Amino acid sequence: MAGDLIESYSEESIKTLDPREHIRLRPGMYIGKLGDGSAHDDGIYVLLKEVIDNSIDEFMMGNGKSLEISIDDKLVRIRDHGRGIPLGKLVDAVAKMNTGAKYDSKVFKKSVGLNGVGLKAVNALSSEFLIRSFREGQFKEAFFNKGILIEEKVLQATGEDSGVEVLFKPDREIFGHYRYLNDYVSTMLKNYAFLNAGLVVHFNGEKYVSKNGLLDLLQSKMSEEGLYPIIHVKEEDIEIAITHGDHYGEEYYSFVNGQHTIQGGTHLVAFREALVKTVRDYYKKEFEPSDIRTSVIAAISIKVEEPIFESQTKTKLGSKDVGPNGQSIRNFIHDFLGKHLDNYLHKHPETADILLRKILDSEKERKAISGIQKLARDRAKKASLHNKKLRDCRVHYNSQHEQRLETSIFLTEGDSASGSITKSRSVNTQAVFSLKGKPKNTYGETKKLVYENEEFNLLQAALNIEEGIDDLRYNNVIIATDADVDGMHIRLLLITFFLEFFPDLIKQGHLYILQTPLFRCRNTKQTFYCYSEEEKQRAIKKLTGKPEITRFKGLGEISPDEFKHFIGPDMRLEPVLLRKEDNVEAMLEFYMGKNTPERQDFIIGKLRIEEDKVFD
C-alpha cells in the first residue's frame, strides 16, 4: 500500500493552473461562499460589489457623481461616469491578475480594492461578461465567456460620457440555481449612497441619494425613534452616529473606505471601547460596559490608506497601525470619540440625562437577574456535557476555518425530524438543536425568562449569544419545522424569541426558514421533489406513465437518504428579513399579544379573500 501511494505521487501529480482556472476551481478563496442568493454574503452579491467598488473608488477621487445599476433575469448592468479604464489596457484590467491602477497610491487613495483581483474574479465566474470603457470621445469593448476573451472590438468614436459599463451574468455552473433578492441589493446600494454624500445611485427605477450620511443610514434602519436624537459627528476621515433604543443587544453598522465590514474588526472594537471610556469619563462612574452598550444603535465609517482586511471579501478589518494622521486606528477613534461625544453631552444635558437613565435601567435589570443567570449558566454547562438537544458540528462561525461561512444549525421540532436531519447532515458544518414541544410566547417578557426557561437557556448557550452575537457559533440559524399549522406556530414563536432578545441576529442576516418539499413525484426512472403545487404539476408533465405522488406531512416522514438532498448544496432557504417599515413592536403586539378577537377577525378576513379567489 505504501509503495502504491509513493508511486502515485509523481511529476504528473503537480499541476499549474492559470489564474482563471484557479478562480473557477477555488471560487471561495476569492468571493467567500457561493450560495444561491438567500444570504446577504452569498457570492453573487460579492460579484456585484466588486464591480461597484471600482465605481465608488472613482467617485471618492472626485470623478463621476452618478451610478446606474439594473438586474434583469440575472443579467447585471453597471454604468459609472468616472474616468474610464485606459483603453489600451482594458482587456488586461479584467483578465490579467495583479493588474490595476490601485497599486499606485497617487491614483487611488483610501480605496477599497487594492489587490487587482475583483474584476478578474467577476469575469472568470460569469458565463457572460461584457465591458466597455468610454474615455475622451472614444470607447472600447471586450466580451468574455467564463473568463476567456471571445471578442475585442477596435476603438470607436462616441459621444457618451467617460466611464465604464459592465454587464455580467453569474455562471450557473458555479452558482447553480440562484436569484438576486432586491432587499439585499437595495440595502447594499443605499449604504453606498449614505457613505458617499452627493452620489446618486439608480437601481431598477429607484433612486438613492443622501445628504446627511450616517445620520440618514441610522434613520433608515430604525422603525421607531431612538431614546434621544441621533448624535452625529464627523471629520474628514471619520464619521460616527449613535443613539439608544429600547431593545436588547447591540446594533452596529461599520464601514472602511465605503466597504461594509459586516464582521467588524479593529475599528469596531476600538469604537466599542471608546464609547465605554467616554461615557465613564463624562459621568465619572465605572459603569459596566454591557450597561452602557445595551440597546445601542450606532454606525462608524473610517477612511484609511491601504487597509488590511482579513479575507478577500473584505468583511473584517485587520489593520491596527495604519490609521489616519499616522496614529493607530484604536488611538485615532478613542481621541475622536473622546473629544466629540464628550462635547456633545456637555452641550446637550437633556440627552445626557436620558442616556444616564438608560444605563441605570440596564444596570438595575442586570442585577435583578444576576442570581438566576449564574444558575442558568451552570445548568447549561452541565447539560453541554451530555446534551441530547444539541448535536454539534466540527467547524464554527467564530473560528478562522475556511468553511466557517457554511456553518449552520437547524432548530427542529421533535425527535423524528431531528433524527432525520442528524443522519443526513454534514458533520463538519451542520449542527442540530432539537426543540421539545412548542416554545413559550416571549412577547412582552424580560430577559429573565431566557434564563428561567430551560429550552431557551440551552438554545442561547448552544448559539453562544448570551453576551451578543460577536461569538455566534453558526453563520446560519435555520428554523426547520413542519409546513403545517403547528410547525408555522413554532416558527412564529421562535422568530418572536429572537426579535425580543436577540434582534441583531435577524438584522445581521443570520436567521432563515428551511424550505422542504411538499411532494415527491416519481416513476421507475425519475424522481422530482416539489415545493409547491405548480412545481408538482410541472413534474407530472415530465414523468411518463402514471407517476407515484407522495404528500409529505412532516419532516419526520422524509427518510435520511432523501433529506440529504434538501440540506446539501441545493438547500432552499428563505431569509427572515426586517425592513424599516416593519414596526417590530406593533407587529409583535398584533400577532403575539393578547388581542385575540382582533386577530381572529383578521384571520377570518384573510380566509374569505382566499375563498373568493378559489371560486372566481
Burial class for 485, CB neighbours closer than 10 Å (0-12, 13-18, 19+): exposed
With b for 16 or more beta-carbon neighbours within 10 A and e for fewer, the 220-242 pattern comes to bbeeeebbbebbbbeeebbbbbb
Within this chain, domains 20-208 and 387-516+555-582 share the same CATH topology: no
What is the per-residue pLDDT for 125?
A: 95
Distance CA 415, CA 412 (A): 8
132 closest CA partner among 115, 103, 152, 118? 152
What is the per-residue pLDDT for 114?
A: 40
Tell me the mean pLDDT per 10 residues along the chain, length 616: 50 65 88 87 92 88 91 94 91 74 41 61 95 93 95 91 95 92 93 92 94 94 90 93 91 88 87 96 96 94 80 68 69 94 97 97 89 77 68 90 89 83 93 89 88 89 89 94 85 92 90 91 91 91 89 82 85 86 70 69 59 47
What is the per-residue pLDDT for 247?
A: 84
CATH number of 214-365: 3.30.230.10
What is the per-residue pLDDT for 592?
A: 79
3-class DSSP state of 373:
helix
Q: What is the Cβ-side half-sphere exposure of residue 156, based on CA atoms within 13 angstroms?
A: 11
This prediction has a pTM of 0.82
Burial class for 440, CB neighbours closer than 10 Å (0-12, 13-18, 19+): middle
CATH 3.40.50.670 matches 387-516+555-582:
yes
What is the per-residue pLDDT for 568?
A: 87
CATH number of 20-208: 3.30.565.10
The residue ranges of every structural domain in the chain are 20-208, 214-365, 387-516+555-582, 519-551
What is the per-residue pLDDT for 81?
A: 94
What is the per-residue pLDDT for 107?
A: 37
What is the per-residue pLDDT for 465?
A: 92
Distance CA 384, CA 458 (A): 8
203 closest CA partner among 187, 216, 219? 187
